[in-house]
Chains A and B, each alone.
Chain A
Amino acid sequence: MAYVAVKGGERAIEAAHAWLAEERRGDPALAELSLAQIEAQLGLAVDRVMAEGACHDRGLAALAIKQSRGDLIEAAFLLRAYRTTLARFGASEPLDTGAMRIRRRISATYKELPGGQVLGPTFDYTHRLLDFALAAEGAPPPPAPRAAAAEATMPRVTGILAAEGLMAPEPASEAEPGDLTREPLAFPADRALRLQALARGDEGFLLSLGYSTQRGYGNAHPFVGEIRMGAVTVEFAPPELGFAIELGEITVTECQMVNQFAGSKTEPPQFTRGYGLVFGHGERKSMAMALVDRALRAEELGEAVDAPAQVQEFVLLHCDNVEATGFVEHLKLPHYVDFQSELEKLRELRATAQMAGQREAAE
């Protein structure tokens, strides 16, 4: 594929960008959106951009959303581009989601479980009717009720099943995980790399793939063992200190999908998990990720690999929306020479076919 350097468009490009800036701002008679407003009032968009931009920074994600006029894939692209300008200090200690300060925690497998079902700030049980009260700007809503909090942390549902020996344990390992931002993805990719790719993958793509596993493309019988969302502490051990310190807290969403597993020659029948973990409050994404993670474990668990969601190359090479948009949108770039050769070839073929037809008619 060849691109042709095109000159002469500078003035048109400048004018186009000036118009873009004007469109971005919109009617100057209206108040301009502040980053703080985007961060606070479009929080789930900020979360999605951080997850797919693979960079946790609420302020930068808000800026990217403002700059991209709310185009969230463009915003993730901007955030990815910005992160390449920063040096990496190192890697954190693995986040302890078991010690999460819970804002939401639900289980579809146990009604009553230690710690209980905590709904948190959820869209669930809303009637999905447009609320015209929000159209009229008014006073802030009354404060949400508060109740005495019992325990700070809650046991994991997977732990409850594991205690009975019914949940396949995760292999204990402190091996340095591969990093697809440093090494190009090679196949077969291990689970650490797959989870990294899924965590930054496009929510829509993973949602559809997860849905496909439920509809019969892949042998999934999932239950939501647990979804939890809340704050986790980020710890990092700087070499100059020699001990881990706390860098702050971030919100993450975790989903544990519980799936049947028929067992194999070496393993008894038991449950296995699909795992989802994303930056911010990203419940749908964490669920989709957990479904696809489980589907991608088919080969390791000795299951048939015959559905799209079970094929590593298909899923991992197409789930990144920044890569996907780059390749799809590059089609807009000048392909004049390519196309010229296609044109000439087609004209030649048609001319040859026409001549052959005339010869036949003459005979």
Chain B
Amino acid sequence: MRFCGELNELDVRLSRLYHVPMPTTPTEPDPTAARRRWMGVLARADAATLRTRLAEAPPLPPHTRLRGPETGLVMARGRQGGDGAPFNLGEITVTRCSIRLQDGTVGHAYATGRDSAQAELAAVLDAALQDAGRRPALLAAVIEPLAAAQAARRAADAARAAATRVEFFTMATMR
């Protein structure tokens, strides 16, 4: 990341030298953050939902499996007292898959549960989304609708919780 930062600084200095206008977006979003986001969205979508979304997207490129899909465990950790040192809470089933596209791009997927088809589709999507040419269409057809549906589910839960919030009425002293 420091390397990227230096490159950005260099860009700024070069643009001043040659009076090249800088892009309107102040800084290019961190590519890791973007990938982290789509991987998180894909991890929360089952295979059936992914297939529905993919029906409206450009076809995925062919791939070869590098590892899996395979189901294993991740030990979930908590913190003592909620904010102290870590402890082992218990294991969670997790399914992972790694694939390679013909151009050599490698895609990975990890998701809770045992949905092998989800893991494989998510790994192919992870690889395809790394390609700047394919990314906009896949973001629009797959990732953004999934993210919106997931946000709506969270909002519905939050709204149900909010309806059970206790409103206290303070009794005024009457004289």
Known: A55-B93, A89-B94. A172 touches B161 (CB 8 A): no
How far does the alpha carbon of A11 sit from the alpha carbon of B164 in the complex, in Å?
Answer: 58
How far does the alpha carbon of A105 sit from the alpha carbon of B96 in the complex, in Å?
Answer: 34
Q: Choose among B74, B90, B168 the residue that contacts A247 (Cβ–Cβ < 8 A).
A: B74
When distances are taken between beta carbons in the complex, the residues of chain B under 8 Å from A313 are none
Q: Choose among A51, A146, A245 the residue that contacts B110 (Cβ–Cβ < 8 A).
A: A245
When distances are taken between beta carbons in the complex, the residues of chain A under 8 Å from B72 are 86-89
Shortest CB-to-CB span from B171 to chain A, Å, is 13
Interface flags, A137-151, vs B, CB<8A=1, else 0: 000000011111110
- A-B contacts counted at CB < 8 A amount to 236
Size bin of chain B's contact surface: 35 or more
A27 CB-CB contact with B under 8 Å = no
B51 CB-CB contact with A under 8 Å = no
Name which residue of chain A comes closest to B155, CB basis.
A149
Flag if B86 contacts A90 (CB, 8 Å).
Answer: no
When distances are taken between beta carbons in the complex, the residues of chain B under 8 Å from A249 are 44, 112
Flag if A256 contacts B74 (CB, 8 Å).
Answer: no
How far does the alpha carbon of A277 sit from the alpha carbon of B87 in the complex, in Å?
Answer: 11
A279 CB-CB contact with B under 8 Å = yes
A175 CB-CB contact with B under 8 Å = yes
When distances are taken between beta carbons in the complex, the residues of chain B under 8 Å from A275 are 80-82
Which listed segment binds A: B13-21, B32-40, B131-139? B32-40
Shortest CB-to-CB span from A302 to chain B, Å, is 18
B111 CB-CB contact with A under 8 Å = yes
Contacting B at CB under 8 A, from A74-100, are 83, 86-95, 97-98
B48 CB-CB contact with A under 8 Å = no
Which listed segment binds B: A215-223, A232-240, A324-332? A232-240
How far does the alpha carbon of A275 sit from the alpha carbon of B85 in the complex, in Å?
Answer: 12
How far does the alpha carbon of A170 sit from the alpha carbon of B156 in the complex, in Å?
Answer: 34
Contacting B at CB under 8 A, from A36-54, are 50-51, 54
When distances are taken between beta carbons in the complex, the residues of chain B under 8 Å from A231 are 154, 157
Flag if B161 contacts A195 (CB, 8 Å).
Answer: no
Q: Choose among B43, B162, B168 the residue that contacts A112 (Cβ–Cβ < 8 A).
A: B168
Known: A87-B72, A111-B168, A240-B98. A177 touches B87 (CB 8 A): yes
Flag if A234 contacts B74 (CB, 8 Å).
Answer: yes
> B residues within 8 Å of A by Cβ?
32, 36, 39-40, 43-44, 70-94, 96, 98, 108, 110-114, 154-166, 168
Q: 9 A-B Cβ contacts within 8 A?
A: A55-B73, A89-B72, A120-B161, A121-B164, A146-B159, A174-B86, A191-B85, A246-B43, A275-B81
